[in-house]
Amino acid sequence: MPQSRGLTLLLEHRARKDKLQIRLASRMYWPLYLIIGGLATLWFVWRYKHRRMIEIAQKLPGPPSIPLIGNGHQFICKPEELIIVIKKMIEDYGDVVTFWLGPNLNFILSKPNDIKILLSSSKTSVKGPQYKYMADVLGGGILSGSGPQWRKHRKIAAPNYGKRAIESYNNVFNKEVDLLLDKLRAMPEKPFDIYTLIVRCTSYSVCQTLMGVTKEQTSKLPHIEEIIDKTPQHYDIVFDRMTKWYLQIDPVFWMSKIYQQQKHFLKLISEFSLEILKHRINRLKTLEDHNKKILLDPDQDSVINTELSVIDRFILSKEFTHNDLISETFTIFTSSQEASAKISSFILLMMAYHPKCQEKLYAEIKRVIGDEDRAVSNDDLKQMPYLEMILKEVLRLFPIGVMLQRTIHEDINISTCTLPSGCSFVVPIFHLHRDSRFWDRPNSFDPERFTPENIKKRNPNCYLPFSLGPMDCLGRYFGTKLVKTICVRILREFAVSSPGTYDDMRVIMAISVASINGYPVCLHPRKLK
């Protein structure tokens, strides 16, 4: 009996202990249960609220998605592989592909006429949610914003990107190319990355034209060399956040190494932009002190205000907060200098890879410019149709914007379906430009695609190097003039070669297309008469 009673007491003790542990566990885990319950509730509420969008998406082709993540896991890959991932989506599912980035429904569209409808519509005048990560660096302005504020800022800046303004930049462009040529003449005849020198030429050109600062002021801008060198790296960070779902979770991003890099870069941007603003504010005060008339309506372009820089117009408009001025100042700088340098470098690299094209272009340059080392004028460039064809082919293969995303805020019909309000559409410009339905040998370099006769044979909307519609590229004419001036002056004096071949070339998609191995060329001085 005593043993039986002892056993009973032991069992009761264990039972009480187990109950106590269960109660403690339930108290310990109730916050977790609450979080899970809250997430589940939000999930069901969200699905109910967006049931129509979900219903439409389920009827259209696209890869299977994972709850909460969507298809975000498919984009966790090396930058070089992203080209293949998107290409396979289009090949597997057709001209309209649905995919989810977390709770955001996206449609990849590959029909040129559908793309024209969407990019030209007032129902799609808002940039997609992934632009948030660009806005974290550049603010919600000209490059990364949309809506009324974006339109107002663009309108203020537009006169400095007009054809008359760009003609006035000719002297600065040529002087900076003179300095670039001096550096190139000192280079030994062995391969080097020509982008590293060209980007400094474009940066100083942008500062003295669009920004309005002098050559001396530009050379003393804080951190300018570090900013020039690190800008491509920070565009890569932005693109990683756009495409990798886990980096879109702010606490995860804040704990990452690249967050510290971005934070440091933002500090550089702020100090760089503030110095430019200080110079321009002082200049405007000087003009007022000398009673020089300044048109206080910077939206208009006239003889009175053509000397105003973009930054001056921003300041005089009084439409910008302090933070707006800082972010838009850097936006004007980076959107012009980096893109122009990349395009110029790609042109020279393509000439190095394709000697027959290079000699044909050189013959055109020599016919127009002759053997004299002189400034290139607007009239000169108008007489170079083959240069224009080469530029267009480079922009086809290596577009500055690889993808566009727009949010649809009202249902819109395209050829095969209705895209619902609340979703976004993606234009895969890189893949559109290499679609075999529109381009023979789409991955080959062939400027002859852009003869007038060949252009007429294609749907015009399969080529979108500067986007389309009211949100097209503001700096297209500025960049074109600067790029052509650089390339004509270099190729008039040097033949270019490269240690690699076009077939060996590897590119990645980030914000724009970039060459993984840089832009290695070797310069050979021409024997000029």
| Residues near 333 by beta carbon (within 8 Å), at least 6 away in sequence | 203, 206, 207, 210, 211, 272, 273, 276
If you compute the radius of gyration of the chain from its CA atoms, what whole number of angstroms results? 28
- Phi, psi torsion values for 465, nearest 5 degrees: -65, -25
Tokens of 493: 């004096």
Nearest to 402 by CA among 507, 509, 518: 509
Tell the residue number behind the tokens 């001085």, with chain if given. 525
Strand spans (E) along 249-371 = none
Quickly tell me which residue has 């789409």 as its tokens.
Answer: 442
**β 424-427/104-109 pair status:** parallel
User: Which phi and psi angles does 496 have, rounded to 5°?
Assistant: -120, 145
The torsion defined by the Cα of 390, 391, 397 and 402, in degrees rounded to 10, comes to: -170
Give the number of other Cβ atoms within 10 Å of residue 415's Cβ.
11
| Tokens matching residue 467 | 């986007």
Local structure of 130: helix, strand or coil: helix
How far apart, in Å, are the Cα atoms of 276 and each of 155, 288, 309, 315? Answer: 21, 19, 11, 12
412 forms bridges with which residues in the sheet? 419
Coarse DSSP helix, strand, coil percentages of the chain, rounded to the nearest 5 percent:
60, 10, 30
Residue type, 31: P
What's the rounded Cα separation, in Å, for the pair 453 and 358? 22
Q: In the chain, count H helices and then E strands.
A: 21, 12
Is 417 annotated in a binding site? The answer is no
Annotated binding site: 473
Binding residues for heme: 473
